């Protein structure tokens, strides 16, 4: 039996594409909360997350643009006075998640809002390109202009915050200060950073392992590092200059910077549409060029065939391929030659596997001994990464490869359902019927809707 027929022979989670679309919409509606935002999933992540909301807005825009706009408004209602946009907005109390606002204590910062609790860290800056997607999906484009003007400016201020506070050498590359800012939280990349310092042991009232299989989640030791970094931030009241000086974790992440570059490009185009000041548009184009050049100069590894993470604290490139290595395609970062090389890496044995045994795109190099097909960000397929890669491949004209990524994504959700993430192994579809992490996951549902919208 061929790999493809094996996928089709197993029982499917949905009987038809229509049923899948219905389930996607229903998942987003069920995960929506009063206040106009959508939780990633009801139990494991009961608040609003930054990049989740961006992807969710893209999915909502396929059937209810008003809701998509509310999603962005709810996120930006928690923007800090210095332009910073936090990674979680704790719109309401819920003790089902750790660490909550009492651990983060973002209120220690002079810039945090008084009316709502948030974290003091951020996430990949996707909102710029999300705004452009909403504009593209609007049938009455003129009616969207006031919304676009407001959120163009808020997003521009966020980018100012990033370039002013997270780029100490003025290179055009911003750093992340915590693995949770990467979005790819438990990637083996972070193991290499944990090796460079010690975090003290501590008690951790974890809640995630009540809602998801502990073997698939980060370890206790991993969480000790996560919490230790937060303790450092609090000790300096979230002062960016002090964090840049003191904290052992400063990393230039290819995914984060690619999202920033893509958002710069989109904002520059939106700026033209809304008649923004020329200085704003020039600045966005300048940022885009600077980030693009710096990524090609500093993060590209010719020997590995992908973009890598740079440990700015210890001044070294982390020689570890992940699905973030392909994200620069989305922002038009690689030259044609580098893009071809990326394609070769992705379709080769390190990701697609020998005899194409994997669904694209595993989040980690499957030949690396740290690869784990079922552990959070250490190997499984994530629909948000596939969506970024699909659009990146299309941008470079790699249409056949883009179709493979799309088909693999849809085959996975048709087989397993709308899970948080998936085992990349094709062979597993013969025996397994469940995906991993949380079921009825919002960004999975949202981006499947975008994949299917045409
Ligand atoms: C996961 O991260 C959170 C912390 O931010 C967690 O594990 O508690 C990641 O997959 C992250 O990328 C995502 O935004 C978040 C909510 O879906 O969950």
Closest-CA residue, ligand 1 atom 12, reads 183
Is the shortest distance between the CB of 100 and ligand 1 below 6 Å? Answer: no
Q: Indicate which atom in ligand 1 lies nearest the CA of residue 218.
A: 7
- State the number of CA atoms in the 13 A half-sphere of 390 facing the CB: 20
Q: Return the pLDDT at 232.
A: 98
* Percent of residues, the chain, with pLDDT higher than 70: 98
45 lines ligand 1 (CB under 6 A): yes
User: Which one is catalytic: 30, 73, 153, 185?
Assistant: 185
Q: Compute the distance between CA of residue 343 and CA of residue 339 in angstroms, rounded to an integer.
A: 6
Quickly list DSSP for 135-162: HHH-SSHHHHHHHHHHHHHHHHHHHHHH
Contact 376, 217 (CB under 8 A): yes
pLDDT tens per residue, range 177-187 = 999 999 999 99
Q: Is 411 in the pocket of ligand 1 (CB under 6 A)?
A: no
Q: Are 200 and 228 in contact (CB under 8 A)?
A: yes
Q: Which helix (H) or strand (E) holds 310?
A: strand 309-311
Tokens standing for 306?
Answer: 């992908």
Instruction: Tell whether the model's pLDDT for residue 8 goes beyond 70.
Output: no
Q: What pLDDT, on the 0 to 100 scale, is given for residue 9? A: 56
| pLDDT value for 147 | 98
> From CA 31, how far away is CA 39, in angstroms rounded?
5
pTM for the structure as a whole: 0.97
pLDDT tens profile 132-156? 999 999 999 999 999 999 999 999 9
pLDDT at 5: 45
- What pLDDT digit, counting tens, does each position of 412-441 carry? 999 999 999 999 999 999 999 999 999 999
Cβ-based neighbours of 171, under 8 Å, separated by 6 or more: 290, 294, 298
* Residue 157, pLDDT score: 98
pLDDT at residue 10 in the model: 65
Over the stretch 80-111, which tens digit does the pLDDT of each residue have? 999 999 999 999 999 999 999 999 999 999 99
Q: Assess contact for 76 and 154: CB atoms under 8 A.
A: yes
Is the distance from CB of 424 to CB of 365 less than 8 angstroms?
no
Alpha-carbon distances of 140 from 70, 145, 271, 315, 406, rounded to whole Å: 17, 10, 18, 49, 29
pLDDT digit string, tens, across residues 30-87: 999 999 999 999 999 999 999 999 999 999 999 999 999 999 999 999 999 999 999 9
* Measured distance CA(30)–CA(206) in Å, rounded: 25
Indicate the pLDDT class of residue 3, thresholds 50, 70 and 90.
very low
Q: How far apart are CA 399 and CA 181, in angstroms?
A: 31
Average pLDDT over residues 308-329: 98
Is residue 185 part of the annotated active site? The answer reads yes
């Amino acid at each position: 039996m061929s790999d493809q027929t094996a996928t089709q022979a197993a029982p499917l989670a949905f009987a038809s594409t229509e049923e899948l679309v219905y389930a996607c919409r229903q998942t987003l509606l069920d995960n929506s909360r009063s206040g106009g935002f959508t939780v990633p999933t009801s139990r494991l992540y009961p608040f609003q997350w930054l990049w989740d909301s961006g992807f969710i807005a893209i999915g909502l825009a396929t059937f209810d643009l008003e809701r998509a706009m509310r999603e962005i408004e709810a996120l930006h209602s928690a923007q800090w006075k210095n332009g910073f946009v936090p990674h979680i907005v704790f719109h309401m109390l819920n003790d089902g998640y750790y660490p909550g606002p009492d651990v983060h204590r973002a209120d220690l910062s002079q810039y945090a809002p008084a009316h709502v609790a948030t974290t003091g860290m951020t996430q990949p800056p996707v909102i710029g390109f999300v705004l452009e997607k909403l504009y593209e999906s609007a049938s009455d484009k003129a009616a969207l202009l006031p919304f676009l003007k407001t959120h163009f400016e808020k997003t521009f201020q966020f980018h100012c915050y990033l370039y002013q506070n997270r780029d100490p050498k003025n290179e055009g590359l911003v750093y992340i200060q915590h693995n949770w800012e990467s979005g790819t939280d438990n990637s083996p990349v972070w193991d290499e950073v944990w090796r460079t310092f010690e975090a003290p042991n501590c008690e951790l009232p974890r809640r995630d392992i009540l809602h998801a299989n502990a073997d698939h989640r980060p370890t206790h030791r991993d969480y000790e590092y996560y919490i230790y970094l937060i303790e450092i931030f609090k000790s300096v009241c979230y002062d960016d200059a002090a964090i840049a000086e003191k904290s052992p974790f400063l990393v230039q992440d290819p995914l984060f910077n690619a999202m920033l570059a893509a958002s710069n490009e989109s904002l520059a185009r939106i700026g033209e549409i809304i008649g923004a000041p020329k200085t704003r548009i020039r600045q966005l184009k300048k940022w885009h060029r600077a980030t693009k050049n710096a990524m090609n100069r500093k993060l590209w590894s010719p020997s590995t065939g992908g973009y890598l993470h740079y440990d700015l604290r210890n001044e070294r490139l982390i020689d570890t391929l992940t699905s973030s290595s392909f994200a620069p395609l989305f922002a038009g970062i690689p030259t044609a030659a580098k893009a071809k090389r990326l394609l070769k890496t992705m379709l080769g044995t390190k990701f697609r596997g020998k005899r194409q045994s994997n669904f694209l795109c595993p989040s980690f190099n499957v030949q690396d001994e740290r690869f784990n097909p079922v552990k959070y960000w250490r190997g499984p397929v994530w629909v948000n990464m596939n969506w970024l890669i699909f659009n990146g491949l299309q941008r470079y004209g790699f249409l056949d490869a883009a179709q493979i990524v799309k088909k693999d994504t849809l085959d996975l959700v048709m087989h397993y359902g709308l899970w948080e993430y998936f085992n990349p192994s094709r062979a597993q579809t013969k025996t397994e019927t469940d995906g991993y992490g949380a079921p009825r996951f919002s960004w999975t549902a949202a981006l499947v809707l975008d994949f299917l919208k045409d």
